[in-house]
Amino acid sequence: MDREKALEFAWEWIFAVNSHDVEKILTLYSDDVVLDSPVIVGRFGIEEGMLQGKQHLRHYWEMAMEVRPYIYFRLIDVFVGVRTVIVYYENLGRTMVCETFDFDHDGKVICSSSLPGEPLSDVPCLYYVNR
């Protein structure tokens, strides 16, 4: 995957989420997608933090839109691997998140992992001085 395709995917994903259109979001994923996120532990009570299959992903996003109807992501950057893209974004105006997406040969997401940071105001500022 090149940076242009990665950016195209990232914007498509961000716009789909920000439109709150679950069907549009789901078009980006394969039928047997695996999602891994700490949100799954808290919201679904699934200790291993994983959901598999588009039907479970649908429920995940429907619940997300219900719990946070004002959900909004702001794209910060994109990192590109061979079949992996990391989308770095701001979630709801406070939390920075890295989301990894692994793609199949058809360009659909087969695995996605969400790695949220702490809310920005809770992160201590550390300065390192080299002398």
Question: Residue 73 domain-assigned?
Answer: yes
**Is 65 exposed, middle or buried, given 0-12, 13-18 or 19+ CB atoms closer than 10 A?**
middle
What pLDDT shows up at residue 123? Answer: 53
Number of structural domains in the chain = 1
CATH number assigned to the domain comprising residue 91 = 3.10.450.50
Question: Residue 52 domain-assigned?
Answer: yes
Question: Residue 47 domain-assigned?
Answer: yes
Q: What range does the domain containing 57 cover?
A: 3-122
What pLDDT shows up at residue 129? Answer: 46
Per-residue pLDDT tens, the chain, 131 aa: give them.
899 999 999 999 999 999 999 999 999 999 999 999 988 888 888 899 999 999 999 999 999 899 888 999 999 999 999 999 999 999 886 789 999 999 999 999 999 999 998 765 555 555 444 54
What pLDDT shows up at residue 122? Answer: 55
What per-residue string of b and e applies to 20-54 under the rule 16 or more CB within 10 Å gives b? bebeebbebbbeebbbbbebbeeebeeeebbbeeb
